[in-house]
Amino acid sequence: MKKQNFKAYLISALLVGLYSCNSNDDLVTDSAAAASQFKVINVTHHDGQPFSTGKSTNSTTGRYVANPGGGVMMQAFYWDVPAGGTWWNTVNTKITAWSNAGIGSIWLPPVSKAQNGPFSMGYDPTDYFDFGNYNQNGTIETRFGSRTELESLITKVHAENMQVYADMVLNHNSGGQLENNPFTGTQTYTNFTAVASGKFPRTSADFYKNAYGNNDEGAFGGFPDLAHVVPNVQDWLWKRADGVGKYYKNTMKFDGWRFDYVKGFAPWVVNDWNANVGGFSVGELWDSNVNILNDWANNANSSVFDFACYYKMNDAFDGNNLNILNDDMMWKRNPYKAVTFVSNHDTDEIWKKELAYAYILTHEGYPTIFYRDYEEWLNKTKMDNLIWIHNNKGTGTTSILYTDTDEYIARRNGYNGNPGLVVYINNSSTWQERWIQTNWANAQIKDFTGNSTWIPTTQGDKWVKIQCPPNGYSIWSINM
């Protein structure tokens, strides 16, 4: 989708107070007294397996390897990345470092030629088969580069044992020629029979209004609205062996899809695509209603971006009320179809991003990292630490142990021998401490972020006191 609500700003570094504990004597006390201040707010009941994109590898080369915590995705672009055909090469230089950091997949912007040629971000597609190798719309290369550079990038991603997802804009087209439209009685820009690739020719019969009806779920930006009920559209998008989906998958070697503006067409479109083409898929359904997100994901047989989580995090962290994190979200309802995120090319509202990333990288779902957050705006060392924790400790179901306006504590319950973790988020200006119940009896634990120097031992009844820095987080697990 086109940019709607993007705020260009530099994120101020969160100040982390320095604190040391001279004695751990106060870590041992009667657990009954501790229980009086402990309360389980909510427990989610899901299959205990970690999220997985289905990829596995036994690589011992230091490249990305499938891990207990599941995948982390990098959104490998932002709105208005530099024009001039350099972006594919820029991303190519990042892949090895991302792989070493534990990133398992990248999401690219729309890769085909669009109406605005060398200046387009790709969301106004003209020729799905022009990857920067045909001279049309005023350019040979796309804004991002040439087909050769794109193929080199995809090859590099796969060499690092990572996956690459294409941004698919299926709702609308742009850049067609004028034709007499018998369905409107006017001339419309719906003639795409002369696209340079010669593939997916389409006319006014393939767009609403047409013989099948006046419209479907939604139009966007005044662009010609593809009618997916038309056999020609279905054939070229996902049924034909040389059609868009199968060409992208089998020839260009994409592993999955991010579907743009899925509010504009029915979920059966994505369901049919997935059944015919395969690969990972996630839909951009811009809605904070969990019921709507979950219904779409089930009907489309696809993952969906967790906008419910996004808006709840914004309200909780920036609105200074962490109790809101008890509310329903897609990752709680259906974690295997929830893709969580803190910001993206369309929307960037959360200011306390470090807390938000600590949240999504310790909880269920498939977390996405935004390019500018990782490469430009936030502390990359802290981000790499959170990715490591997610990959190595973020397993099992989730129990929310404590919340108030300033504090949030949750436990990942572990899976298949992995101990899981406890995450403590503190939105106040002072250090905080809480007694909590872990899943570990008589076990030494530590904060894997290094924000706390405590190394306490849990009691026989699994209780322990932990601490959290101001405006920060700590993440605890067995010291091993």
**What does pTM read for this prediction?**
0.89
The tally of CA atoms less than 13 A away on the side-chain side of residue 426 is: 24
| Residue 157 located in a structural domain | yes
| Residue 233 located in a structural domain | yes
Q: Is residue 402 helix, strand or coil?
A: strand
Residue 51: both structure tokens together: 């999220």
Write down the pLDDT at residue 62. 61
| Residue 401 located in a structural domain | no
Asked if residue 171 belongs to a known ligand binding site, the reply is: yes
Q: How far apart are CA 1 and CA 78, in angstroms?
A: 12
Q: How far apart are CA 232 and CA 262, in angstroms?
A: 20
Rg (CA), the chain: 24
Q: How far apart are CA 423 and CA 358, in angstroms?
A: 8
Q: How many domains does the chain have?
A: 1
CA neighbor of 88 nearest in space, from 63, 110, 64: 110
Q: Domain containing 255 — which CATH number?
A: 3.20.20.80
Using the structure block, give the residue that is written with the tokens 């020839």. 251
Asked if residue 216 belongs to a known ligand binding site, the reply is: no
Q: Which residues pair with 105 in a beta bridge?
A: 73, 163
| Residue 207 located in a structural domain | no
CA neighbor of 340 nearest in space, from 322, 318, 321, 325: 325
User: Cα dist. 275→159, 245, 255, 279, 301 in Å?
Assistant: 27, 11, 14, 9, 9
List, as one string, the DSSP characters of 86-119: -HHHHHHTTHHHHHHHT--EEEPPP-SEETTGGG
Handedness of CA 385, 390, 393, 398 (dihedral sign): positive
Using the structure block, give the residue that is written with the tokens 């397993």. 395
Write down the pLDDT at residue 480. 81
Write down the pLDDT at residue 420. 98
| Mean pLDDT, contiguous 10-residue spans, the chain (480 residues) | 37 31 33 37 35 36 86 98 98 98 98 98 98 98 98 98 98 98 98 98 98 94 96 98 98 98 98 98 98 98 98 98 98 98 98 98 98 98 98 98 98 97 98 98 98 98 98 96
| Residue 332 located in a structural domain | yes
According to DSSP, the β-strands at 407-412 and 421-426 are antiparallel
Residues with catalytic roles = 260, 284
Q: Which residues pair with 226 in a beta bridge?
A: 207
| Residue 403 located in a structural domain | no
| Residue 209 located in a structural domain | no
| Residue 39 located in a structural domain | no
Enclosing domain of residue 272: 54-109+144-170+228-394
Consecutive H or E run containing 33: helix 31-35
